[in-house]
Amino acid sequence: MKTKFITFILIVVSGIFVKVNAQDTIKRNKSNYTSQAELDRIAVYKTPEYEGGQQALYNDIGTLFNTHGAPVGTYKIYITFTIEKDGTISDVVAKTDPGYGMGDEAIRVMNNLPKKFSPGENKLGDILRVGLALPITINIEKPTEKKD
């Protein structure tokens, strides 16, 4: 019997891109500097976290991801998405797509995760929309035959 081994390596990038609604965005020009009070309002102080933690996120992505018969190899997909104020995911984009439908599959999986994220917060405790980036590395190994 042949089995296919798939290894998922997921790393939440520590660089977080804050996306806030237009009314929350501070317009700056070269002569204006942001005050500490403004930074406390727009900067992410508490990063969104997946319900159950990072391992639960890995498990859910691994369970839902289908490689669609891609050949043996290592594939890297870089996705970006937004965690909304209610903890749901939106604006999922595959920035890199190695082919074999993996970029679309990564988008599908992220849009169908069974759990929510906790929302991001600023230093003042206000809930923010937060943009995140997630690189996904998929290693498809040669199937091994089990001896009976």
pLDDT tens sequence across 90-116: 999 999 999 999 999 999 999 999 999
What stretches of the chain show up as alpha helix (H) in DSSP? Answer: 36-42, 54-64, 102-111
In single-letter form, the type of residue at position 96 comes to T
What gap in Å lies between CA 48 and CA 18, rounded to an integer?
Answer: 11
Using pLDDT thresholds of 50, 70 and 90, give the confidence band for residue 67. Answer: confident
pTM summary value? 0.72
| pLDDT tens profile 12-58 | 333 333 333 333 444 444 345 468 777 777 788 899 999 999 999 98
Task: Answer for the pair 118, 87: CB distance below 8 angstroms, yes or no.
Answer: yes
